[in-house]
Amino acid sequence: MVDISEDLIAPGHRTCAGCGCILAARQILRATGKDVIICESTGCLEVTSTQYPLTSWKVPWIHVVFENATSVAAGVKAALEAQGNNHTQVIAFGGDGGMVDIGFGAVSGALERDDDIMIITYDNEAYGNTGIQRSGATPFGASTTTSPAGLASIGKKQWKKNLLMIAVAHGSKYVASASIAYPQDLQNKIKKAMKVKGARYLHIHAPCPTGWGTDSSKTIEVARLAVQTGMWILYEIENGNFQKTMNLELKPVEEYLKMQGRFKHLKENDIKVIQDHINATWKELGHLEKSGVNLRTIL
């Protein structure tokens, strides 16, 4: 068990009760320790944890604008290198809005340059801070305020954007998905990532009770179910070698979907479409794992 006698994030932040994102941040910092610099994008976490003149952060932290957390981090790292500091971890940290959508260019640039930073997305599958609007990471069929379910719509019509595979296509030497429901796995991945040089990408699934329509007590339960049903797959890609970090028998996705208000409009057919998609993905990833294909080489 990791020592958490004194977290590097103080309480008193204004996150919703049961917020998954702040847990992601806590778990990350438990693994990194205090020798980090966090470059954060605008979002739920930034707004709730740095309300002037008070801050929850006990590590150096900077926020500039919404979409440039990764570019700022790249600049911070360049400065540290110029000053001869090779030990401080520089982390670009943002929600799925700031990293997958509007900040995508910055993420891509840093990955392509292989800037020696850790790029971490906390994924609550919507723009939480502005009232739960859809993002590229919103899953198929989810109802959000800009992709609402209605008589003529299933909610979000597109599948979830896969930034992990995009990162490995840029040649990142360490790419991993994680979930706040599996803190040991998350922290192991962070610790591994810390030892790698170059642009590393981690994507952490962090449910939002407000946006997903779940009770605040169920945040971890729903995050766990996401993994157990295959809606969120835990894996790491080290030097292009894909490996799942959790092997399990998939539970039916209906169990996961029925827990959440944002999916309650889905009909049997819709659930089947999602289940088929998961089954196909799971199968293909199984092939990929066995094949030993090196994704860095071919992409």
Partner 1 sequence: MTKIFMEGSEVMAKTVILCRPDVISAYPITPQTHIVENLAKLVADGKLKSKFMEVESEFSAISSVAGACAAGSRTFTASSSQGLALMHEVLFASAGLRLPLVMVVANRALSAPINIWNDQQDSISERDSGWIQLYVETVQEAADTLIQAYKIAEDKRVLLPVMVCMDGFILTHTMEPVDLPEEKEVKQFLPNYKPTHAILDSENPMTIGPFTYPEPYFKLRKELSTAVDNSKKIISEVNEEFGRKFKRKYGDGLIEEYKNDKDVAIVSMGSVVGTIKEVVDSRKDVGLIKIRCYRPFPKEELIKALKDRKTVIVIEKNVALGLGSGSVLPEIRSVLYSLDKRPKLVGFIAGLGGTDIRIKDIEKAVDDSKKMKDGEAEWLI
Partner 2 sequence: MKKSGDKFEPGGVIKEPGSSKEVKTGSWRVFKPIVTENCKGCGICVQFCPEGCIKVKNGKATIDYDYCKGCLICMNECPVKAIKSER
The residues that touch partner 2, with contacts defined as CB under 8 A, are 1, 4-5, 7, 9-15, 17-20, 22-23, 26-27, 49-59, 180, 183, 209, 215-221
Q: Is 61 or 263 the residue whose CB approaches partner 1 more closely?
A: 61
Is residue 172 at the binding interface for partner 1, with CB under 8 A as the rule?
no
- DSSP string of 155-174, one letter each residue: S--SPPP-HHHHHHHTT-SE
Contact between 157 and 146 under an 8 Å Cβ cutoff? The reply is no
Least distance (Å) between residue 203 CB and partner 1: 21
Task: Return the residue of 19, 67, 182, 193 that touches partner 1, per CB under 8 A.
Answer: 67
- In angstroms, the CA 9 to CA 207 distance is 19
Least distance (Å) between residue 100 CB and partner 2: 23
- Binding span for partner 1 by CB under 8 A among 51-59, 197-205, 217-225, 246-254: 51-59
- Binding span for partner 1 by CB under 8 A among 76-84, 198-206, 233-241, 255-263: 76-84
Task: Return the residue of 46, 116, 125, 236 that touches partner 1, per CB under 8 A.
Answer: 46
- In angstroms, the CA 100 to CA 104 distance is 5
- Binding span for partner 1 by CB under 8 A among 72-80, 194-202, 226-234, 266-274: 72-80
Which of 136, 140, 143 is CA-nearest to residue 161? 136
Helices marked H in 58-182: 69-82, 96, 104-113, 163-169
Q: Is 219 or 260 the residue whose CB approaches partner 2 more closely?
A: 219
- Binding span for partner 1 by CB under 8 A among 21-29, 57-65, 156-164, 263-271: 57-65
Task: Return the residue of 16, 80, 169, 196 that touches partner 1, per CB under 8 A.
Answer: 80
Write down the residue that tokens 């969120």 correspond to: 232
Write down the residue that tokens 């296509």 correspond to: 169
- Binding span for partner 1 by CB under 8 A among 53-61, 159-167, 209-217, 279-287: 53-61
Q: Which residues of 64-79 are buried (b: 16+ CB within 10 A; e: fewer)?
A: eebbbbbbbbbbbbee
Give me the count of residues in the chain. 299
Number of neighbouring beta carbons within 10 Å of residue 273? 15
Number of neighbouring beta carbons within 10 Å of residue 173? 18
- Sites of contact with partner 1 (CB under 8 A): 34-37, 39, 46-47, 50-53, 55, 57-65, 67-68, 71-76, 78-83, 88, 105-106, 108-109, 112-113
